[in-house]
Each structure stands twice: as C-alpha cells, then as structure tokens.
Amino acid sequence: MWKGIRFGLLLTFLVQPPAMAQTKVDLELVLMADGSGSIDDDEFLLQRHGYARALRDPRIIDAIRYGPLGRIALSYVEWSGPDLHVPIVPWTLIRTKADIAAFADVLLNWPRELYGGGTAVGDAILYGAQSIETNRFAGRRRVIDISGDGPDRNGLPAAMGRDQAVARGMTVNGLPILEGSLWLNDFFTDNVIGGPGAFSIPARGFKDVYVAIRKKLIREIAGNFQNTSVLDQKFVAYTTAFRVHPARRGARRDGDHHKRRATTPGGSEGRPSGRFSRPLGTSGKLADAKASPAPPFLPSEREKRSYRPRPSDPGH
C-alpha cells in the first residue's frame, strides 16, 4: 500500500510548478540532519553543536562573502521516518557574521523533537528538494546536504529520492557518520550523492561531525575546489577518497547491530513508541504515532550496492 502512496507523492513532486522566487542568492543549501532513534541524546548534542560550531568558523562567512552575490539561503531540518521532518531553522538569508551567529544560536537552544520513526533517506532527500522548490529564494546552485548514521530502513529508497532531486537540477551531498560501520560510506557514495559536483565526506564518529561538516560547508559554499585553502583541499581529497578496506567489509555482525539499535516491544530503534514530532507552529501534544519495529540490517555484498528492503524482512 505504501508503494502506491509514495508513487502518488513522487508524481506530485514531479509535476509541481516552480515556486516564484523573490531573492537571488549564490546558493540554496538545506542541511538535512539525522534525528532518528539510533542517535542517543549525547550523540544528538554532539551533532547539533558540531553544526553550530562549524557555521561560526570565520572561513564560512568568508566563503559566503567571496561569492558573486555575497549571500546564500540556508535551512536546517532534522529527519527520521517517511513523514517525519522538522525544520529547526527555516530558510534564512545569510550575508553577515551576525546572520550566521543567529542561525547557530537556534541550533544550540532549540530542543530535540524527533526520537524515532525509522530511517527514510529517500523521503528526506525529497523533502529537502521540495523545500528548495517552494522557498522564496532563487539560487545559482541548489544543494541538499544530508547526514546520517545508517542506510534505508523504511520509506522511499535513497537512490530514488536522489534521482528525482538530480532531475530537478539539484545536487545531493552526503555526510555519513560511520561509528564503526565503515561500509556506510559506500552506501552514501552509491545511493545518496548525485548531481553536479556531488561529493561525500564521512565523519568517523559523532565527535568528528564538527570537522567533517566544516570542511563540507566550505566546499559547498565556495562552489569551486580551487577557492579553498591548501589544507582544506588536502582534507577534502583524503576524505572524499576514503574507502573501506576489503578485509573490513561485512565486519559488522548481528550482535554488534543489536547493541546499538536494540528494538523494544512497543517501538523502534530503542525508543518508546508514540514519541514523534509535530510540525513547528502547531499546538497540542506530540502525535501518538505507532512505528513498526525496525528489522535487523545485515548487509550482504549485493545489499551494500543496492540497499533495498528484502522481501523476508519483517515490517516491509
């Protein structure tokens, strides 16, 4: 049934007319950060603080000022399941250091709203694309920057969402947070990134999110590899070329998986069921939604290339 619903949403996205833009910018950049239940509160804070700290780096505002127009449009969204996307910071015009500081302050002070719902990478990409299409900006470049600590678990396949975004002239860049799951970098490379100049920079863990997102933002905003410093070029060249040694592939085992993503009888990914987000601006309690328990993910060589749900997996 969900396939029919997803097809309808996809068709709506394809025939949707372009939004009337009001302000021209060098770049429209939506930061799509993983807020799924696999991320505990400590990791969540490391991620939020990493983004905020990276945005405050002087090289970020310098990269913005050196653009032809000297301004970009920026948004920050947290995502998890197919219909769970929370815009933490709406589309904002960034021209000055004060603009960046205000944006980062919201990231530091806004409470967490997502605690579960799965990991729907493809739906997150489509949400980012629709957000770009309907905002009030017209960018010379349009980029979806998506981070995550796992592959598809439900919803639209990542590759399908990516292909539709690329068909609309957008670029999808990736920031996989490996945390020992080294094969995740290949998943992002093969299924997530796409479009003009697309790239992926992995973070080895949540403690490394700041370094990875800082390098990534500099490269995305500059729009030209030659505009970055020699040090940044060396870092980007190293991380973009990062690959998993064949001996490490498939090293993740069933026991390791369950230590990190243990499910509970009433919910998914180690979080209580019914604890999901409501859109900002609405009133009342959080929606009492029920999520299907996430099935174990044991990637075979074939699945590492395609990452499609297997017919035998429960919950699909």
Q: b/e map of 186-207 (b: 16 or more CB within 10 Å)?
A: bbbbebbbbbeebbbbbbbebe
The token pair at 188 is: 């992002």
CA distance 212 to 242: 13
Alpha carbon distances (Å) from 78 to 85, 89, 210: 6, 10, 17
Contacts of 278 (CB under 8 A, 6+ apart): 113, 284, 285, 286, 287
Provide the pLDDT for residue 157.
Answer: 95
Distance CA 110, CA 264 (A): 27
Phi, psi angles (nearest 5°) of residue 127: -60, -45
Task: Say how far apart CA 248 and CA 238 lie, in whole Å.
Answer: 19
State the pLDDT confidence band at 300, using cuts at 50, 70 and 90.
very low
158-167 and 2-15 helices, crossing angle to 10°: 10
User: 127 near 95, Cβ under 8 Å?
Assistant: no
For residue 22, the model assigns a pLDDT of: 79
pLDDT digits (tens, 9 = 90+) for 220-255: 999 854 444 444 444 444 434 443 333 333 333 333
Query: What is the structure's pLDDT at 224?
Result: 55
Q: Is 7 helix (H, G, I), strand (E, B) or coil?
A: helix
Confirm if 33 and 89 have CB atoms less than 8 A apart: no
What CATH superfamily is the domain 37-316? von Willebrand factor, type A domain (3.40.50.410)
Please state the domain extents for the chain.
37-316
pTM of the model: 0.68
The answer to whether residues 108 and 136 touch, using CB atoms and an 8 Å cutoff, is no
Mean pLDDT of 157-186: 95
